[in-house]
Amino acid sequence: MKKYYLLLVLSLFVFPVFAQKTDTIHSEKLNEDRIISISLPTSYGKEKNKKYPLLLLLDGDYLFEPFAGALKYGNYWDDLPEVIVVGINQSRPYDRELESDVDVQNGLPIEKGAKFFDFIGMELLPALEKKYAIAPFKIIAGHDVTAGFMNLFLYKDVPVFDAYISMSPELGQEMETRIPTRLGAIKKPVFYYQSTADGDLKKMQERIKTLDVNLKATTNSNLYYQFDDFKNASHYSLVLFSIPNALYHIFGAYQPISSTEFQEKIVTLPSDYVGYLTKKYDIIEKSYGIKMPIRINDFTAIEAAILKNNAFAEFEQLASLAKKSYPRSMLSQYHMGMFYEKTGETRKASKAYMNAYNMDSIGSLTKDFMLEKADQMK
């Protein structure tokens, strides 16, 4: 927990200036103009057809900078993907309490709460999707009253959001049972994060913890749930603890292969190490709508697993995968050289390494290294 809190604090100093702009959108539902803050990824517009997940922040007037900073920092180390961040300003002259208004009997939005709900789903999201390159994966986040309000999007037959970050939620009518019921019935993958702290009001803590118990009892393989109960934190400071924990929970599958993942999930497999790598990147694309080349370090990790388990035949599959990911680089021919070398065909191995010499260097693979490998086969 302390590590992620430090990560967020550092991000606020390392990235004091974001690719940020403020925009105004007129809402027919609310009959007023709304101010939104937008942070676009550094690579935005540089790659044709590239799309980015969307993070929509309620209480954007004070949640925008901490979230955008944490995402910038995490992306710098390739732990988190680039994300389009949009924050809805709910400070004065707006009233976040009225915009989160729900009926005390049925828990559904009423009056300005209903108009604000429609503004998000029927006006803001379509406008953002029309203007920006947004992937299908969408996240919504809120704090206390807005965290409770955002859960109403789960009540729709087809929820528009794929991930929910609920920090110290002020829960609406019967949400302790209604949220688990909805999450238990959802047919597509959904990420749900919620947090509280010992500095929260006791009546809020009790309901949040009841919801936690009910969610943990929910049996749905499509639900990815995490709950944090922070000690020595207030209702406000828990936000700084929650943000990195929530982002790393949601984007856990995006991260490069770590030493823990290698030791516990990969090297212990009896076979199909290349299949593991392929599935990892398929999950990234299907879960987040992010299509990306396989990282060089992840190729290196699978190479190490193959060598450790003497599964040399898989080098041929790894070479094929490398050719698709980096067709002009020497990576594919290097893996073919390893395949021939480890299966005793040294002449073919030497030829493969020489073929690699004529291609582009990549990572730690250089022309000198390939010449050395080719000479070793003689």
Q: pLDDT > 70: what percent of the chain?
A: 95
Residue 7: predicted pLDDT: 52
Residue 9 has pLDDT above 90, yes or no: no
For the chain, the structural domain boundaries read: 2-254, 259-376
Q: Would you tell me the crossing angle of helices 273-288 and 296-308 to the nearest 10 degrees? A: 150
Residues 365, 261, 3, 249: is their CA dihedral positive or negative? positive
Q: If you average pLDDT over residues 117-145, what whole number do you get?
A: 97
Output 11 or 377, whichever has higher pLDDT. 377
Both structure tokens of 218 = 């929910």
Give the CATH number of domain 259-376. 1.25.40.10
Q: If you average pLDDT over residues 127-154, what whole number do you get?
A: 97
Residue 6 has pLDDT above 80, yes or no: no
Residue 363: predicted pLDDT: 93
Q: If you average pLDDT over residues 112-121, what whole number do you get?
A: 97
Residue 19: predicted pLDDT: 62
Residue 164: predicted pLDDT: 98
* Within this chain, domains 2-254 and 259-376 share the same CATH topology: no
Residue 17: predicted pLDDT: 43
> Is the CB of residue 91 less than 8 Å from the CB of residue 61?
yes
**pLDDT tens digit string along 212-232?**
999 999 999 999 999 999 999
Mean pLDDT of the chain: 93
254 residue type, one letter: Y
Residue 13: predicted pLDDT: 43
Both structure tokens of 36 = 């939104």
Residue 1 has pLDDT above 60, yes or no: no
> Is the CB of residue 306 less than 8 Å from the CB of residue 156?
no
**pLDDT tens digit string along 247-293?**
999 999 999 999 999 999 999 999 999 999 999 999 999 999 999 99
Q: How confident is the model at residue 157 (pLDDT cuts 50, 70, 90)?
A: confident
CA-nearest of 42, 46, 132, 135 to 82 is 42
Distances (CA, A) of 107 to 112, 243, 325: 14, 27, 50
Residue 48: predicted pLDDT: 86
Q: pLDDT > 90: what percent of the chain?
A: 89
251 residue type, one letter: F
Domain 2-254 has CATH 3.40.630.10: no
CA-nearest of 268, 295, 264, 297 to 281 is 295
Q: How confident is the model at residue 107 (pLDDT cuts 50, 70, 90)?
A: confident
